Structure 1
Amino acid sequence: MKLFKTFLSMALVLAFFNCTDKEKVKKTPETDLTQLMESIDKFNKAFQEGHVKVLESMITENYLHTNGNLKSIRKNDWINYLSKREKEIQSGALEVIEYKLEETEIELHGNTAIVTGKVTVSNKRNNDIKKNEYRITNIWVYESGAWKRAGFHDGKIK
């Protein structure tokens, strides 16, 4: 329900701005929730397919990544992990069957967004298929005209 109210509010704001002189309207994160949602979709698709360059371009320089069972890592360590994963995907050793974000909720705070949801992931390795679900929290920031992910945390759903 919160997400619906957020979308409804954003739709009203966007409708108002679309009725004004577009030359005078300055685009802000609050008026462009669509851009954030598109960035999240692009990010998730790049992760599913193992496109490290895309992912690297979509995270902040001081990116912090935390999985529920490991110590937090910074941008370079996460990119190193992604590079190994990309090679596994390209070689066929790892197949990501599904990577889906659902139950998404977004809270905007100026140029920062807190995004929560449930990720369902299904991987195939050595003919063994594993499916997992995680509750996630992402921190996105609007910088230099684009949304970038600044932080990540997940917890496995049992």
Structure 2
Amino acid sequence: MKLFKTFLTFILVVTLSQCVNKEATQEKTKIDLEQQLLESIDKFNKAFQEGNVKVLESMITENYLHTNGNSKSIRKKDWINYLSKREKEIQSGNLEVIEYKLSETEIELYGNTAMVTGKVTVSNKKSSDIKNNEYRITNIWVYESGAWKRAGFHDGKIK
């Protein structure tokens, strides 16, 4: 009987430790995913500021949906076309992106999907005219094939 109680105690300890290890692993995975997402967002925003269409195109989903507060939603192809024109303006010096900064970032993970909200501050110079704007943004990111990709975007102008 004593051997049976010892065996049951051993099984209980092993089972509980597995549960604790599983929770710790899940929390570590969540932290790792958030860190990878933040790095992806930084890479994406840098590419946008510099007008790097190749990087941006590689970081959005095939069914990407982009919505600005002042226009109708567009799909990946149309957004890439817009970015290509913008890239040429940046390369020619007609457009200088002085600042493109995301702040007040909040992330909510839902498995392999994340909702990211924040505030974007933008400062552009075009024909010696400097424009400063701020936007509230919501992005949808999905983790696919070992990388975070942006699946959706929406902004609303603050001022």
Structure number with higher helix proportion = 2
Match runs of 1:135-150 below 5 Å: 135-150=136-151
**Alignment-mate amino acid for residue 146 of structure 1:** A
In the other structure, the counterpart of 1:56 is 57
Query: Would the aligned equivalents of 1:30 and 1:110 in 2 still touch at CA under 8 Å?
Result: no
Q: Which has the higher Rg, Structure 1 or Structure 2?
A: 2
Match runs of 1:9-158 below 5 Å: 16-17=24-25, 31-158=32-159
Shift of 1:32: 2.1
TM-score, normalised to structure 2, is 0.82
Please list every run of at least 4 consecutive aligned residues from structure 1 whose deviation after the TM superposition is greater than 4 angstroms: 27-30
Identity of aligned residues (%): 84
**Residues 29 and 87 of structure 1: is their aligned pair in 2 closer, same or farther, counting only changes over 3 Å?**
farther
Q: Distance in 2 between matches of 1:47 and 1:31?
A: 24
Q: Distance in 2 between matches of 1:122 and 1:29?
A: 34
**Residues 86 and 113 of structure 1: is their aligned pair in 2 closer, same or farther, counting only changes over 3 Å?**
same
Shift of 1:33: 1.2
* 1:84-106 residue CA offsets vs partner (Å, 9 max, x unmatched): 00000000000000000000000
Which runs of 5 or more residues in structure 1 are unaligned?
Answer: 1-12, 18-24
Between Structure 1 and Structure 2, how many residues are aligned?
136
